[in-house]
């Protein structure tokens, strides 16, 4: 049984999501703020986190910053917030969120996204395949990435993005195509999501992010992985 952690200061939101997710067969944990959530993740290691942004004591951004800095903090994170400013979405993604959902939301749609995210993050076994390019090795079975002799920690969305690009070197992907690869479905969202994920991946795999060797920008179109 997969474990989902809901972090939100509104009891009615926690209760609503707990009801929907429990009905779908998930074990549900809850926390009312980021400080409480840190204690929960250290004791239980959830498979996915639904995280509100605006909370007392410790907000979602600070929780995410601290969570991603800890060992074994690889669970995908769906940020849930009433704030719709583009800058807020970018900040959450830069801190390691995988998706950004604004309130009000459909609980059924959110549950569908949870299932899709768990599938993509390797909670269900993916096909065994190893992708290699220069000194990068990406293993889809174990969801591990090694650059040279260095293991690189990617969020689930960052891994899916790099996997899609490496699987088709030289092919140019538009931002909507990459959104579909990362999110599993195409929906109204921020295309800048992809730009933030690309920046994060480059920071982790590129020798020099000012002159990318692997992930190339095709201006006005999207991105491609450099052909050998």
Task: Express each pLDDT in 1-20 by its tens digit.
Answer: 789 999 999 998 999 898 88
Asked if residue 204 and residue 152 are part of one domain, the reply reads yes
Residue 173 pairs in a beta bridge with: 223
Query: Of 88, 120, 152, which marks where a domain is finished?
Result: 120
The CATH number covering residue 210 comes to 1.10.10.10
Kindly report the pTM of this predicted structure: 0.63
Domain of 113 in residue numbering reads as 3-120
Residues 6+ apart with CB under 8 A from 89: 79, 100, 190, 192, 193
- Please report whether residue 106 resides in a domain: yes
pLDDT at 138 over 90: yes
- Please report whether residue 125 resides in a domain: no
> Higher pLDDT residue, 180 or 185?
180
Tally of domains within the chain: 2
Asked if residue 96 and residue 170 are part of one domain, the reply reads no
- Please report whether residue 10 resides in a domain: yes
Give the confidence band of 188 by pLDDT, cuts at 50, 70, 90: very low
Query: Of 120, 152, 176, which marks where a domain is finished?
Result: 120
Task: Express each pLDDT in 84-113 by its tens digit.
Answer: 666 667 777 888 888 888 878 888 888 888
Give the confidence band of 128 by pLDDT, cuts at 50, 70, 90: very low
pLDDT at 136 over 60: yes
Asked if residue 93 and residue 151 are part of one domain, the reply reads no
Alpha helices by DSSP H, listed for the chain, are 11-23, 34-44, 60-68, 86-94, 107-120, 156-167, 175-183, 192-205
Residue showing tokens 């260095």:
150
State how far the Cα of 75 lies from the Cα of 84, in Å rounded to an integer: 24
pLDDT averaged over every residue in the chain: 85
């Amino acid at each position: 049984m997969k474990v989902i952690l809901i972090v939100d200061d509104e009891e009615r939101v926690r209760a609503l999501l707990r009801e929907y997710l429990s009905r779908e067969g998930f074990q549900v944990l809850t926390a009312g703020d980021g400080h409480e959530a840190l204690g929960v993740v250290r004791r239980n290691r959830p498979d996915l986190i639904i995280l509100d942004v605006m909370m007392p004591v410790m907000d979602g951004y600070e929780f995410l910053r601290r969570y991603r800095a800890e060992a074994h903090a690889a669970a995908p994170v769906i940020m849930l917030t009433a704030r719709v400013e583009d800058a807020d979405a970018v900040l959450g993604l830069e801190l390691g969120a995988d998706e950004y959902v604004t309130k009000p939301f459909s609980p059924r749609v959110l549950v569908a996204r949870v299932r899709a995210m768990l599938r993509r993050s390797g909670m269900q076994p993916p096909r065994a395949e190893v992708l290699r390019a220069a000194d990068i090795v990406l293993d889809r079975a174990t969801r591990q990435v090694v650059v040279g002799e260095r293991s690189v920690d990617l969020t689930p969305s960052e891994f899916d993005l790099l996997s899609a690009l490496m699987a088709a070197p030289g092919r140019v992907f538009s931002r909507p195509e990459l959104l579909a690869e990362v999110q599993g479905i195409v929906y109204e969202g921020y295309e800048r999501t992809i730009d933030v994920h690309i920046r994060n991946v480059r920071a982790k795999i590129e020798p020099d992010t000012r002159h990318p060797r692997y992930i190339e920008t095709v201006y006005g179109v999207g991105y491609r992985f450099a052909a050998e």
